[in-house]
Structure 1
Amino acid sequence: MIFNRFTRTAGFLFLTALAGLGVSSCTKDTDGSPQIKPGNPAVTALSPDSAAGGALVTLTGTGLGDIRSIVFEKGNVPAGFQSTLNTENALIFRVPADVLGGNQNIIFTNSAGNTVTVPFKALAYPTVASVSNYNFTKGTVLTLTGNNFDDVTAVAIADSVKGISDAATVVSKTKTQLVVQMPATTLTRGTLSITNSTGRMRTKQEFVNLDKVYQIFTDAYGTGYQDGSWGDAAAVTTKEFASGTASVGKNFQKGNWHLIAFANWSASAIPYSADYTYVTGWIKGASADYSLYLTTDAGKAGFGDFVDKNKIDVKAGVWNYFKIKLSDMDFWVAGKTLKQVGFRIQGPDKQDETFYFDDILLVK
Structure 2
Amino acid sequence: MKKEILKSKKLYCVLSALIVFGFAACKKEHSNLVGGTGAPVITSVATAGKSKTDTLVTTVTTYDANGVATTVIDSNKTHNSVIPFDSTTTEGKKQNQYVIKGKNLGSVTGVSFNGVSAYFNPALVSDNTIIVSIPQNIPTGASVSNKLVVTTLHGSASFNFTVLTPPPTISKVSDYSFTAGSQITLSGVSFATVTSVGLKGSTATATIVSQVDTQMVIKMPTAAISRANLVFTYASGTATSTQEFIDLDNSYQIFVNNNYENGWFDNSWAHPSGISTTTSHSGTSSIEAFYPAGGWQVEGMADWNTPGKFAYNADYKYFTFWVKGGTVNHTLVLVGDQMVGGYGQVQNANAYAAQLISVPAKVWTFYKIPLGAPSSTNPNLLNFWANGTPAQQLGFFLQGQSGDVDEAIYFDEMAFVK
* TM-score, length-scaled by structure 2: 0.74
Residue 85 of structure 1 corresponds to: 124
Does residue 316 (structure 1) correspond to residue 361 (structure 2)? The answer is yes
Contact 1:44 1:61 in 2 (8 A): yes
Equivalent residues in 2 for 1:41-52, closer than 5 Å: 41-47=40-46, 48-52=89-93
Cα root mean square deviation, aligned = 2.6
**Distance in 1 of aligned mates of 2:23 and 2:342:** 88
Residue 390 of structure 2 corresponds to: 337
Letter in 1 for 2:341: A
Q: In structure 2, which of residues 157, 172, 178 is the aligned counterpart of residue 130 of structure 1? A: 172
Residue 358 of structure 1 corresponds to: 412
Contact 2:168 2:232 in 1 (8 A): yes
| 1:202-244 CA-partner distances (Å, limit 9, x unpaired) | 1112222222111111211222222223445513122311112
Letter in 1 for 2:384: W
Does residue 54 (structure 1) correspond to residue 81 (structure 2)? The answer is no
Contact 1:102 1:124 in 2 (8 A): no
Contact 1:231 1:259 in 2 (8 A): no
Does residue 175 (structure 1) correspond to residue 175 (structure 2)? The answer is no
Residue 253 of structure 2 corresponds to: 215
Residue 312 of structure 2 corresponds to: 272
Residue 154 of structure 1 corresponds to: 196
Residue 12 of structure 1 corresponds to: none
Letter in 1 for 2:192: D
Match of 2:123, SS state, is: helix
**Distance in 2 of aligned mates of 1:194 and 1:331:** 36
Equivalent residues in 2 for 1:112-131, closer than 5 Å: 112-131=154-173
Match of 1:211, SS state, is: helix
Deviates further, 193-202 or 129-138: 129-138
Structure 1 residues 105 and 270: alpha-carbon distance in aligned structure 2, compared to 1, 3 A threshold = same
Match of 1:270, SS state, is: coil
Match of 1:293, SS state, is: strand
Residue 399 of structure 2 corresponds to: 346
Unaligned runs of 5+ in 1: 1-17
Residue 15 of structure 1 corresponds to: none
Contact 1:100 1:124 in 2 (8 A): no
**Distance in 2 of aligned mates of 1:28 and 1:314:** 67
Percent pairwise identity: 31
**Distance in 1 of aligned mates of 2:408 and 2:153:** 65
Q: In structure 1, which of residues 181, 186, 197 is the aligned counterpart of residue 224 of structure 2? A: 186
Match of 1:28, SS state, is: helix
Q: Which protein is bigger by CA-based radius of gyration?
A: 2
Residue 299 of structure 2 corresponds to: 260
Residue 300 of structure 1 corresponds to: 340
Structure 1 residues 194 and 257: alpha-carbon distance in aligned structure 2, compared to 1, 3 A threshold = same
**Distance in 2 of aligned mates of 1:274 and 1:179:** 34
Letter in 2 for 1:183: P
Structure 1 residues 39 and 322: alpha-carbon distance in aligned structure 2, compared to 1, 3 A threshold = farther
**Distance in 2 of aligned mates of 1:135 and 1:337:** 25
Residue 67 of structure 1 corresponds to: 108
Structure 1 residues 330 and 35: alpha-carbon distance in aligned structure 2, compared to 1, 3 A threshold = same
Residue 145 of structure 1 corresponds to: 187
Contact 1:280 1:321 in 2 (8 A): yes
Structure 1 residues 63 and 285: alpha-carbon distance in aligned structure 2, compared to 1, 3 A threshold = farther
**Distance in 2 of aligned mates of 1:38 and 1:137:** 66
Letter in 1 for 2:385: V
Structure 1 residues 290 and 56: alpha-carbon distance in aligned structure 2, compared to 1, 3 A threshold = farther
Contact 1:50 1:123 in 2 (8 A): no
Contact 2:318 2:369 in 1 (8 A): yes
**Distance in 2 of aligned mates of 1:238 and 1:38:** 76
Letter in 1 for 2:97: L
| 1:277-330 CA-partner distances (Å, limit 9, x unpaired) | 001110112233333332222222333423241223323222111111113323
Q: How many residues align?
A: 341
Q: In structure 1, which of residues 8, 12, 28 is the aligned counterpart of residue 26 of structure 2? A: 28
Structure 1 residues 337 and 56: alpha-carbon distance in aligned structure 2, compared to 1, 3 A threshold = same
Does residue 326 (structure 1) correspond to residue 367 (structure 2)? The answer is no
Structure 1 residues 118 and 227: alpha-carbon distance in aligned structure 2, compared to 1, 3 A threshold = same
Equivalent residues in 2 for 1:283-294, closer than 5 Å: 283-294=323-334
Offset at residue 332 of structure 1 (A): 2.1
Letter in 1 for 2:365: N
**Distance in 2 of aligned mates of 1:241 and 1:133:** 12
**Distance in 1 of aligned mates of 2:35 and 2:329:** 61
Residue 241 of structure 2 corresponds to: 203
**Distance in 1 of aligned mates of 2:282 and 2:113:** 41
Structure 1 residues 256 and 32: alpha-carbon distance in aligned structure 2, compared to 1, 3 A threshold = farther
